[in-house]
Copies of this chain bind each other. A is one copy, B any other.
């Protein structure tokens, strides 16, 4: 594992690391923010999953999360959004293939060879992080859009593994919107029954743990009605009795200006759970 960036930031260190991923069978980068408190002892970790077209860079450059992580003493880990490399399958569209891993484990050719972002985020990456950085076992997870889908699905699939979860403008029901249907058909095949294992609104019905969900959604988000449909998450949570705080933020769009405006409240939410 090789460190390729290191910047002092709010009294801590914003780093980017590169490593050979056995899960994804390619070279991967991830970002880690070490707050000042990490110099004195282990800190809880918040995993951040980014959206379509992003790399490990977008969140660390644009969200302004380091200020709050330095206040609360949280390590932030932001992986890339898909496997990368010349031998990794790709698609012409920006919503499938590289930059669009959807945080699942693909079962169909040619995708199954590398596209195992779920396994990577849940297993390989935390093991790597815990081996190299001063972390406790307290983990939270959050993300934006495709990464909001990833955060919700991963927390729901792994009861007990995460103490807190939140999302910004998540794709809550990928099986029922164009982005998700295109990606799931490619990665998982046409049998929609197999899609249920990667759909937050389906997983909530049978969740073994009632981890409260915090979701912010911009009211002026250009993808609100076509791709995001937070009302489907609300309906699923109401039907299952799953605790949900869903906040519609009037006027906010799908950009990092929206994330930056509310990331402080999300980090406070995670800090309460991770340090409590």
With a cutoff of 8 Å between Cβ atoms, the chain B residues found around residue A61 in the complex are: 61-62, 256
Closest-by-CB residue of B relative to A58 is B61
With a cutoff of 8 Å between Cβ atoms, the chain B residues found around residue A11 in the complex are: 261
Q: Does A257 contact B (CB under 8 A)?
A: yes
Alpha-carbon gap, A160 to B67, bound state (A): 35
Answer whether A260 and B8 are a contact pair too, CB < 8 Å, given A61-B62, A62-B61, A62-B62: no
Closest-by-CB residue of B relative to A63 is B64
Stretch from A19-27, A76-84, A134-142, A247-255 forming part of the interface with B: A247-255
Closest-by-CB residue of B relative to A261 is B10
Judged by DSSP, the binding face of A is mixed
Per-position 1/0 for A233-276, Cβ under 8 A of B: 00000000000000001011101111011001000000000000
With a cutoff of 8 Å between Cβ atoms, the chain B residues found around residue A9 in the complex are: 257-258, 260-261
Q: Does A97 contact B (CB under 8 A)?
A: no
Q: Does A50 contact B (CB under 8 A)?
A: no
Per-position 1/0 for A1-33, Cβ under 8 A of B: 000000111110010000000000000000000
Q: Does A147 contact B (CB under 8 A)?
A: no
Choose among B8, B64, B220, B252 the residue that contacts A258 (Cβ–Cβ < 8 A): B8
Closest-by-CB residue of B relative to A64 is B64
Alpha-carbon gap, A253 to B61, bound state (A): 15
Q: Does A99 contact B (CB under 8 A)?
A: no
Closest-by-CB residue of B relative to A253 is B7
Q: Does A51 contact B (CB under 8 A)?
A: no
User: Are B8 and A252 in contact (CB-based, < 8 A)?
Assistant: yes
Q: List 13 other contacts, CB 8 Å, given A7-B257, A9-B257, A64-B64.
A: A7-B255, A8-B218, A8-B249, A8-B261, A10-B260, A10-B261, A11-B261, A14-B257, A61-B61, A61-B62, A62-B62, A64-B67, A66-B261
